[in-house]
Amino acid sequence: MSDTRSDVLVFFGATGDLAYKKIFPALQAMIKRGTLNVPVIGVAKAGWDLEQLQARAADSLKQHGGIDMAAFGKLKELLRYIDGDYSDANTFAALKEAIGSAQRPAHYLAIPPVLFGAVVKHLSEAGCASAGARVVVEKPFGRDLASARALNRTLLEIFDETHIFRIDHYLGKGPVHNMLFYRFTNPMHEAIWSRQYIESIQITMAEDFGVQGRGAFYDQVGTLRDVIQNHLFQVLSNLAMEPPPRSDSESMRDEKVKVLKSIPALEARDVVRGQFRGYREEPGVARDSQVETFARLQLAVNSWRWQGVPFFIRAGKSLPVTCTEVVARLRKPPHVLYGEPRSNYLRFRISPASEIAFGLNIMDQQETGTGDTVELLASRHAGANERDAYERVLHDAMEGDRTLFAREDYVEEAWRIVEPVLGASTPLFLYDPGTWGPSGIEQVVPRGGWSDPQ
């Protein structure tokens, strides 16, 4: 084992929903690939024993991808369990004993952020936060700039920034991860990837379903906090960043922070918030809720490469399709010979399939000179055998690779941008389920309109 790799994985929240849906399948996948062979210590307060946790893991795998008997057998051997309250020092004394002689534990907090402070304090007091220890935390990283700073102070009291891994699992998705590879290995693309040729960039994250019984949670969050401030800002950073001078994690993260630093804070005119009709009837949702289930916004990236190019982001629930994609429209060529041709475009689809495509103009069959747009599909795959996002980020955290994790300054810059338009500071417009958000609102509309995923 390398002197940087974690020699034990501790995960708090072992009996929770996230562990059931994502963590156990990721652990089995890591074992199958040969990247996990250290003890895995689950911690929770459920009144369970190890056998019950193993049964929960088995059920999780049956429901989410299936059991590989050899890998699951290995997982059962590695799995440990400590049942106890997160506020009880005895829980952490038992954890310290279970960790034993391990020098580099990775403590994964798959628990609500409100519990982070108590847990990291107890880890320190029990001697579980040694110099080689890491802490891996789930989003949300606060609700606004002030709470994000407070959360960072809490973590930094015990752990050095280089040992804090803030998970945004979206960065672990293959198509998002590979976006930089595509950009920086294809000079043909990078030659046009600037304000000289790009007119606008759109990012759409659409879901054709509502809150799916999670109304009480969603009504405390909303679209801006749930997916835009984190997931879609990460996509934007990958699109707008400069090539780093080196391939190490800090050089990569430096360039992403520079992108956010170049974005002015949003104003009311930059945002349209919507709420689908029927949302307030969902269980757990306030009858007078002002929480948005849809938002579209316009950002400026005031860097040398992008100044003057508007970036548009749109995300929401109960929209016509479930799809996430990026469309970059190129500036139109001079209309000297053939009237006014349509814009070329480049399209990255992130989900449900991964696609890269180019929109090009050809002569129409009637040769009227108006032309047709055809799409050249450069790459398409459905993601078979691809590493799951959680498998990727957990593996990287245990290896000590921070590239796919948000740094303190990045988190705080993201909150700085959206903070002026959080909550009910801007109007809320109703929209019908199955539509593309509020209609008749002229704010935040790209030149030529939005490109709706097909």
Catalytic residues: 231
Tokens coding 88: 């009880």
Of the candidates 206, 221, 208, 419, the residue with the CA atom closest to the CA atom of residue 313: 206
Half-sphere exposure of 129 (CA within 13 A, CB side): 20
Of the candidates 24, 170, 153, 136, the residue with the CA atom closest to the CA atom of residue 401: 136
Contact present, 229 and 339 (Cβ < 8 Å) = no
d(CA 267, CA 313): 14
Q: Distances from the Cα of 300 to the Cαs of 113, 339, 377, 430, in angstroms?
A: 31, 31, 29, 27
Coil, helix or strand at residue 118: helix
d(CA 394, CA 109): 12
Coil, helix or strand at residue 10: strand
Which residues touch 114 (CB under 8 Å, ≥6 apart)?
none
Q: Distances from the Cα of 349 to the Cαs of 77, 205, 265, 330, in angstroms?
A: 40, 10, 27, 17
Dihedral angle sign, alpha carbons of residues 177, 180, 183, 187: negative
Instruction: Supply φ then ψ for residue 157, to 5 degrees.
Output: -65, -30
- The beta strand positions in 53-104, using DSSP E, are 79-83
Which residues touch 275 (CB under 8 Å, ≥6 apart)?
289, 290, 291, 292, 293, 294, 428, 429, 430, 431
d(CA 320, CA 322): 7
Q: How many C-beta neighbours within 10 Å does residue 4 have?
A: 12
Which residues touch 231 (CB under 8 Å, ≥6 apart)?
168, 170, 205
Half-sphere exposure of 355 (CA within 13 A, CB side): 19
Residue 306 CA to its chain's centroid (Å): 23
